Amino acid sequence: MLTKMNLASRVIDAFQLDYRDRGLLAPLEALGTIYHRYGQSFRPTEEPDCEEAHNDYIDVGIGTYFPTHPAVVEACIRALQAGYTQYLDSAELKEAIVAKLAAENSMTVEPEQILLTGGARTGIIMSALALLNPGDVVLIPDPDYVGLGDCARIAGAEVVRVPMAKVNGAFRFDPQRMVDFALPRTKAIMFCNPNNPTGYLYSRSDLEVIADLAERRNLFIIANELYDRLVFDGGVHISLASFSGMMERTVTIQGLTKIYDMSGLRIGWMVASKSLTRTLADLRMLACQALPPSISQFGGVAALTNPTRDEHVRQVLELYVRIRDMTTEALDGYHGVSCPKPMAGHFALADFSVFGADDVKTALFLKREAHVLTVPGSVWGLCGCGHLRLALANPPAVQAEGLARLRKGTELLAKWSNT
């Protein structure tokens, strides 16, 4: 059993390792980085304690979310007024998720294969703790969501990053590289589909390679599908666990944080085989009964079952595509920046490497000179160096102002780097 102290130090190590590995820790510390209190990413700032200091900046790195569907808000209020303030593991919500998985993810499961969690992030740490032991190796694409590697390391595993390939300026999964990187100690593959921050949507053939590798090498898969409905241009999201034999070795993580704009309500879930679910359930119980709040569970049912649900998703997607197109059109080709269109998800990843590989420096420059906040791409792995992550979840007027500032800052960067 881990003691409190060594668990804390593992968390700190997991948190810092990526940065130390890349020689980024010192510059980040020197800049006085903070763990931004509204999101989950680092951003360079010289005023770690001064909230007002952010008022003058436009944040295009994380983005604010759109308003939550009124049916969700009403369901939460009604639940509170009706006195649902006790422990709850909602059978109704699990039934709604079973129906969602069948309709949208081609997964046929029973309610006991679903474990509700306080957001997707809780599912990541639970599955890492359940499946990984110290000394195990986990393969994670690079770039990919920073929380995957953090959680694997907290479980004591060693993380090996598998660089994605760049094709026509856009990152895409490299199946052969994943196969080549599998070692005898490899125990699991963790990945986000769609990918944060690149917006890559895994194809059926990508997933077939992962499934085949998992079967041949007896690997577990932790598949984070938090953005499964945020898919653009008629693309189709495919769940790995829907492949024959894959449910037995996969923990699928989904939730309502993104497309339903419910990040603070903390609704996530894990889907796994019955035997794995029993282990995960014990772990969830040990972790302070890490269920979503009771009131939120009613909101979750409303999100998944209200009659205007599909229309809501359609409208949200339309808005995302509009903001995505504004973003890529403003930046792609501007002074050598490349900003390919993401296929899915919440973000675009713009390549600013024409101004050097030090994306922290670039982000800081843009903040200082143009008052626009971005997130350095290296947060998501070495392949993200020289890139900046841009969020698509801003109201169009805010995004337009943010992009205008980014263009102004980029012009200054271009001028200064040529002098």
Ligand X SMILES: Cc1ncc(COP(=O)(O)O)c(C=O)c1O
Strand pairing category for 58-59 and 372-373: parallel
Nearer to ligand X, 186 or 224 (CB): 224
**Total binding residues for ligand X by CB under 6 A?**
14
255 lies in the site for ligand X, by CB under 6 A: yes
393 lies in the site for ligand X, by CB under 6 A: no
**Which H/E stretch holds residue 46?**
none
Nearer to ligand X, 263 or 410 (CB): 263
Q: Which of 105, 127, 257, 394 binds ligand X (CB under 6 A)?
A: 257
Nearer to ligand X, 147 or 386 (CB): 147
Q: What's the farthest any 2 CA atoms get from each other in the chain?
A: 67
Instruction: Give min distance, CB of 415 to ligand X, in A.
Output: 34
Instruction: Give min distance, CB of 196 to ligand X, in A.
Output: 4
Instruction: Give min distance, CB of 373 to ligand X, in A.
Output: 16
Instruction: Give min distance, CB of 263 to ligand X, in A.
Output: 5
E-state strands within 291-391: 347-351, 372-373, 375-376, 387-391
Restricting to residues 261-320, name those near ligand X by CB under 6 A: 263, 268
Restricting to residues 114-133, name those near ligand X by CB under 6 A: 119-121
Q: Which of 105, 127, 186, 224 binds ligand X (CB under 6 A)?
A: 224
DSSP-derived 3-state class of residue 82: coil
**Spatial contact of 75 and 298, defined as CB atoms under 8 Å apart:** yes
CA distance 329 to 361: 24
Both tokens of 298, joined, read 């009613």
Q: Which of 96, 157, 159, 226 binds ligand X (CB under 6 A)?
A: 226
Nearer to ligand X, 313 or 412 (CB): 313
**Which H/E stretch holds residue 12?**
helix 4-21
Instruction: Give min distance, CB of 300 to ligand X, in A.
Output: 12
Nearer to ligand X, 191 or 355 (CB): 191
Both tokens of 244, joined, read 């024959």
Restricting to residues 151-210, name those near ligand X by CB under 6 A: 192, 196
Instruction: Give min distance, CB of 136 to ligand X, in A.
Output: 21
Both tokens of 4, joined, read 């409190």
Both tokens of 229, joined, read 């409905």
Restricting to residues 11-30, name those near ligand X by CB under 6 A: none
Nearer to ligand X, 296 or 410 (CB): 296
Dihedral-angle region of residue 256 (phi above 0 means left; psi in -120 to 50 means alpha; beta otherwise)? alpha
Instruction: Give min distance, CB of 119 to ligand X, in A.
Output: 3
CA distance 137 to 177: 16
Instruction: Give min distance, CB of 40 to ligand X, in A.
Output: 6
Nearer to ligand X, 16 or 40 (CB): 40
Per the listing, tokens 């060594």 go with 6
Q: For the purposes of burial, counting CB atoms within 10 Å of the CB of 353, is it exposed (0-12), middle (13-18) or buried (19 or more)? A: middle
145 lies in the site for ligand X, by CB under 6 A: yes
Q: Nearest-CA neighbor of 242 among 345, 109, 123, 124?
A: 109
Instruction: Give min distance, CB of 404 to ligand X, in A.
Output: 26
Nearer to ligand X, 61 or 255 (CB): 255
Q: For the purposes of burial, counting CB atoms within 10 Å of the CB of 364, is it exposed (0-12), middle (13-18) or buried (19 or more)? A: buried
Both tokens of 195, joined, read 């990918």
Catalog residues that contact ligand X under the rule CB under 6 A: 40, 119-121, 145, 147, 192, 196, 224, 226, 255, 257, 263, 268
